[in-house]
Structure 1
């Protein structure tokens, strides 16, 4: 994994992100970041726990706290939180209230540590029972928690799978988005291999005022150097 950071640096990248951390060589990653000068923009809270199931709330807060401690040596990256699955027999209003309560508890821990949590909506194609599969709902939750240490991770592919109008769902709320990830439709490969209009995607982000990082969360179909070249071409 640390070798991949060095390879990313050699390919001209200054930022990186990865999924879970408990199976990663954290000390070696810290050394690679230090030697290359790269910055880590995001890591998933590990283990993943539900924000809508009160029975998992304490475990969620513990996971956030332990992830903060473990990743401090990686430069205090933002920490990505998914929602977990819907709870049978629970109303929409209760789901929302439970999510707000859990996110507030987790964000309290993040605020103390000076770390930002990123709430990520997914999609029903991958996870049929996932609670948070809507950008609007994700932004509503961020607004309800009302903390500068909780923001949204907007994934262009998840949003497209759900049939969302990107400009519409982000209009007037881009200040609540701290990170964007990309992949092409329909099979989650590199930009330029599918049906999304990347000129339009990038123009929407520019017009809305997004100035943050863009993460490449896709399955490459080309040799890595060609995949990166195509992606850079499409994203401008």
Structure 2
């Protein structure tokens, strides 16, 4: 496993200019970074910084965000996928993060799931053509994202299996899963091959590992036992200067 700094939040203190955070991550001994939406970012400067440092981009989000479960938004969603894929091609073709959108009141779970599958099949076909993997992310509805349709890791994996494309995988965020009361080993056992990326933040607070109640050595051991050996996104809001925050995250996780 290797660490990837979410430069949306990390290094913001020492590098106000966004692309400079890639250099800061490299100087901190990290080989990978990730961020959130792309359409407010200096893409040319990011590309140059990645080239200069050799740092890998592990993910960013499809934007603008649109609903998977509302067919009225599917056209705009697919337009966003296409535009984001073009940007991804210039940045090393990293995985692209997809969120579900909000639950439609008065519409059954089955209908909403069917609409999500329909949209994701079309999006996965576009991703396959571009040589990019999409990663579907469940988000917690208790603390951060009330009303979000997809908050269950199990449902997300069910949808991914139904779509049936090698270009759609799971982004498993330990913070969101922990907030929802999931047992990580139970929800990922036998399905770890569907996990493309993992993100860490402690609970409560969504701060660096070691600030909350999550047993990080156990989390890392369980991920290894399940067979995961990919990137670990440090997607948290730091409470310390970034270099110190990353040092604490390393100490808490053993990574």
TM-score where L is the length of structure 1:
0.99
Q: 1:204: which partner in 2?
A: 222
Gaps of 5+ in 2: 1-17
Q: What is the Cα deviation at residue 9 of structure 1?
A: 0.5
The answer to whether the 8 A contact 1:26-1:71 is kept is no
Q: 1:163: which partner in 2?
A: 181
Structure with greater helix percent: 1
For residues 1-236 of structure 1, the aligned pairs below 5 Å read: 1-125=18-142, 126-236=144-254
Q: What is the Cα deviation at residue 71 of structure 1?
A: 2.4
TM-score where L is the length of structure 2:
0.91
Alignment partners' CA distance in 1, 2:73 and 2:127: 18
The answer to whether the 8 A contact 2:127-2:133 is kept is yes
| 4+ runs deviating over 3 angstroms | none
Q: Secondary structure at the match of 1:42?
A: strand
Aligned length: 236
Alignment partners' CA distance in 2, 1:26 and 1:104: 28
Alignment partners' CA distance in 1, 2:141 and 2:61: 20
Alignment partners' CA distance in 1, 2:100 and 2:234: 21
Alignment partners' CA distance in 2, 1:26 and 1:222: 28
Q: Secondary structure at the match of 2:146?
A: coil
The CA RMSD measured in Å over matched residues stands at 0.7
The answer to whether the 8 A contact 2:89-2:130 is kept is no
Q: Between the two structures, name the one with larger relative contact order (CA 8 Å, sep ≥ 6).
A: 2
Alignment partners' CA distance in 2, 1:57 and 1:214: 30
Alignment partners' CA distance in 1, 2:56 and 2:89: 12
